Amino acid sequence: MVILVGVNHYAKMWMTDVAVEMRDTMCCCNCFCQVAVLRETVRRECEERYELTEALELAKKELLLLKRPPSRHGVLIACFAFTSNDADDDR
């Protein structure tokens, strides 16, 4: 009877070891899944940041074009057109 009690004790210890090993394995699988999700999240965030940076650069260029004073050539043409119309009206 002592032998059966000893075997039962070792069986419980083995089952406990297996349970701990399974828990650790599940934890590792869970960690790998979390790492995969985090990597995908970082990839999407970087892609979004790149797209936003491009849009910001484009908007900046457009704003600078709007702020730029008109070229002298454009001003001269406008002045010439204005003076030509005035000369036509005097006739």
Q: Per-residue pLDDT tens for 76-91? A: 555 555 555 555 555 4
Q: What is the pLDDT of residue 82?
A: 53
How many helices and strands (H and E) does the chain possess?
Answer: 2, 0
Inter-CA distances, 53 with 57, 60, 65, 66, Å: 6, 10, 19, 20
Distance (Å, rounded) from C-alpha 84 to C-alpha 67?
Answer: 29
- Model pLDDT, residue 60: 94
Whether residue 1 is predicted with pLDDT greater than 80 in this model: the reply is: no
Pick 9 or 45 by higher pLDDT.
Answer: 45
pLDDT in the model for residue 2: 43
pLDDT per residue over 17-76, tens digit each? 777 777 777 777 778 888 888 999 999 999 999 999 999 999 999 999 888 776 655 555
pLDDT (0 to 100) of residue 44:
95
**For residue 7, what are its two tokens?**
């075997």
pLDDT of residue 53: 96
How many other C-beta atoms can be found within 10 angstroms of the C-beta atom of residue 56?
Answer: 10
Task: Give me the count of residues in the chain.
Answer: 91
Query: Alpha-carbon dihedral of residues 10, 15, 18, 19, nearest 10 degrees?
Result: -140
Q: Which two tokens stand for residue 32?
A: 């790998």
